Copies of this chain bind each other. A is one copy, B any other.
Amino acid sequence: MSLVVMVTVPPAGAAELARGLVEHRLAGCVNMLPGVQTVYRWGGEVAEEPETLLLIKTNGERYPELERFIKEHHPYEVPEIVALPVDRASPEFLRWLNGSLSLS
């Protein structure tokens, strides 16, 4: 199954994380969406932070290693790592994606 993984990061660390995921064949492509403001609950308080949202295209096979890589390279104690299932996609795109993720 193909997946779109949502991860939010402090803006300063977005490009390095995105590039690392593609270089290590953990993602075929990563969209970096800038200027996001996130409202969240932490320690009983409601807080707000500027973030960049990464939309990471990957597949089920590469997901476990992707999650490990993000946790090792992310500054937060509990980073958001949320995977949405792909229902259908252009066959040509899927061929390109799976080729980009393949280690062989």
- Interface on A for B, CB 8 Å cutoff? 1-4, 6, 8, 15, 18-19, 21-23, 25, 28-41, 46, 48, 51, 53, 55, 57, 63, 67, 70-71, 78-90, 92-93, 96, 100
Contact = CB atoms under 8 A, between A and B. Distances in A.
Contact of A82 (B23, B40, B86): B86
Contacts of A53: 31, 33, 55
A88 to B, nearest CB: 5
Copies of this subunit? 3
- Secondary structure class of chain A's binding surface, majority of residues: strand
A29 B39 contact: yes
Given A23-B46, A87-B83, A87-B85, A38 B34 contact: no
Contacts of A48: 19
B46 A38 contact: no
Nearest to A94: B82
